[in-house]
């Protein structure tokens, strides 16, 4: 199935590869099921992972009783033999890959995980807004050469001082007052979202277990739960680390053995959260303080050391968060 917001191209193949149908229908469960089941019993189905595809796949699994796989769009596009792109050929390719068992799959997260992702990512959008407001205020102060001597930025006292600073122009003061009002509203919204997340995950055993680990607070636990979902879906800790974008990327050729930094994959929010956790672990956990110290003594840059700590910690965490351990 090649998914679009208003329509879905459905290609049905027999076990021997014969195309039984390849037609466009509305983005409605009933129409899709009717097109496919008119050709016989549906053994398995594939749909390219994109916005809205997970909800449709969930409906097909729970309401139609199908076995549905989500396809990785990047890998599927590189497996095409034909440079032309049409919905007809895309649906045919997905059906062919599913039939022969070569479909590059991604995980179909359960409904509760997708809902948690929605709220966690909304929180991050609000946090980004807070950062952008602060950057705009700082830029305006630099532009008008306003400095606060002996005062930490963004404290309550600093906010009271900045709107009365003599060096500010009339319009500069007006802009900063409005920016600070907007900042207060955003901070209030972030607090509301975090209270909602706390209520959502009050009975989540994985979130509770994550928060028991040293250096892991509620925000990190919510992000790991939302973006990783279930630790048990990975075979090894190394596989989990690669999913998080923390593994070095191999750049070897012949006798030359090298790496090219971290792999260019993974969710940016998840990787950033784990990097922040790596910084905390280097300061708070004796095991990782020692590990980081050894790397620093060998001349490794601090950014490399932080990534190494995060990488090793995630691989260790994989074993701690297995369902069998959580159930014990």
- pLDDT per residue as tens digits for the range 8-33: 999 999 999 999 999 999 999 999 99
Do 183 and 222 sit in the same domain of this protein?
A: no
Do 210 and 323 sit in the same domain of this protein?
A: yes
Do 116 and 100 sit in the same domain of this protein?
A: no
Give how far Cα 45 sits from Cα of 22, 143, 184, 309, Å: 14, 58, 49, 40
pLDDT number for residue 23: 93
Domain membership of residue 257 (yes or no) is: no
Do 84 and 174 sit in the same domain of this protein?
A: no
Domain membership of residue 258 (yes or no) is: no
Percent of the chain with pLDDT over 70: 98
Is the alpha carbon torsion for 16, 20, 26, 30 positive or negative? negative
Domain membership of residue 124 (yes or no) is: yes
Do 98 and 166 sit in the same domain of this protein?
A: no
Do 80 and 147 sit in the same domain of this protein?
A: no
Do 219 and 315 sit in the same domain of this protein?
A: yes
**Domain C-terminal end among 71, 106, 141:** 106
Do 129 and 175 sit in the same domain of this protein?
A: yes
Long-range contacts for 64-69 (Cβ within 8 Å, ≥24 apart)?
A: 64/29, 64/33, 66/42, 67/43, 68/44, 68/108, 69/44, 69/45, 69/98, 69/103, 69/105, 69/108
Domain membership of residue 167 (yes or no) is: yes
Angstrom distance (rounded) from CA 48 to CA 104: 10
Count the domains in the chain: 3
**Tokens of residue 281, six digits:** 């672990």
**Domain C-terminal end among 58, 80, 106:** 106
pLDDT number for residue 272: 94
**Domain C-terminal end among 85, 106, 127:** 106
Range of the domain at 315: 206-251+263-327
Do 217 and 323 sit in the same domain of this protein?
A: yes
257 DSSP assignment: -
Do 193 and 270 sit in the same domain of this protein?
A: no
pTM of the model: 0.88
Domain membership of residue 147 (yes or no) is: yes
Do 54 and 153 sit in the same domain of this protein?
A: no
Domain membership of residue 256 (yes or no) is: no
Domain membership of residue 267 (yes or no) is: yes
CB-based contacts of 323, cutoff 8 Å, min separation 6: 230, 231, 232
Domain membership of residue 187 (yes or no) is: yes
pLDDT number for residue 85: 84
Strand order from edge to edge, sheet including 7-13: 2-3, 7-13, 19-26
CB 308, CB 281: distance < 8 Å: no
CB 11, CB 93: distance < 8 Å: no
pLDDT number for residue 258: 65
Which residue positions in the chain have pLDDT lower than 50?
A: none
Do 32 and 11 sit in the same domain of this protein?
A: yes
């Amino acid at each position: 199935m090649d998914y679009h917001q208003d329509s879905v191209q459905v290609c049905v193949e027999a076990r021997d590869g014969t195309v039984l149908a390849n037609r466009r229908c509305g983005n409605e469960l009933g129409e899709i099921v009717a097109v496919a089941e008119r050709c016989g019993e549906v053994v398995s189905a594939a749909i390219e992972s994109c916005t809205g595809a997970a909800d449709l796949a969930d409906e097909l699994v729970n309401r139609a009783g199908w076995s549905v796989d989500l396809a990785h769009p990047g890998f599927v596009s590189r497996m095409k033999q034909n440079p032309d792109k049409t919905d007809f050929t895309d649906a045919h390719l997905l059906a062919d890959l599913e039939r022969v068992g070569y479909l590059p799959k991604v995980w179909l997260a359960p409904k509760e995980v997708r809902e948690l992702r929605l709220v966690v990512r909304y929180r991050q959008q609000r946090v980004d807004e807070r950062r952008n407001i602060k950057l705009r205020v700082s830029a305006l102060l630099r532009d008008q050469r306003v400095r606060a001597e002996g005062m930490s930025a963004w404290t309550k006292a600093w906010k009271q001082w900045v709107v009365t600073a003599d060096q500010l122009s009339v319009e500069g003061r007006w802009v900063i007052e409005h920016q600070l009002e907007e900042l207060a509203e955003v901070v209030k919204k972030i607090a509301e979202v975090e209270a909602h997340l706390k209520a959502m995950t009050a009975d989540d055993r994985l979130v509770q277990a994550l928060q028991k680990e040293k250096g892991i607070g509620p925000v990190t636990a919510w992000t790991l739960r939302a973006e990783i979902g279930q630790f048990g879906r990975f075979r090894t800790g190394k596989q989990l680390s690669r999913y998080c974008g923390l593994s070095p990327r191999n750049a070897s050729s012949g006798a030359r053995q090298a790496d090219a930094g971290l792999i260019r994959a993974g969710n940016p929010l998840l990787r950033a959260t784990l990097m922040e956790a790596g910084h905390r672990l280097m300061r708070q956990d004796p095991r990782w303080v020692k590990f980081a110290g050894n790397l620093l003594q060998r001349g490794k840059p601090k950014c490399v050391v932080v990534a190494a700590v995060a990488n090793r910690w995630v691989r260790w965490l994989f074993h701690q968060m297995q369902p069998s351990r959580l159930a014990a």
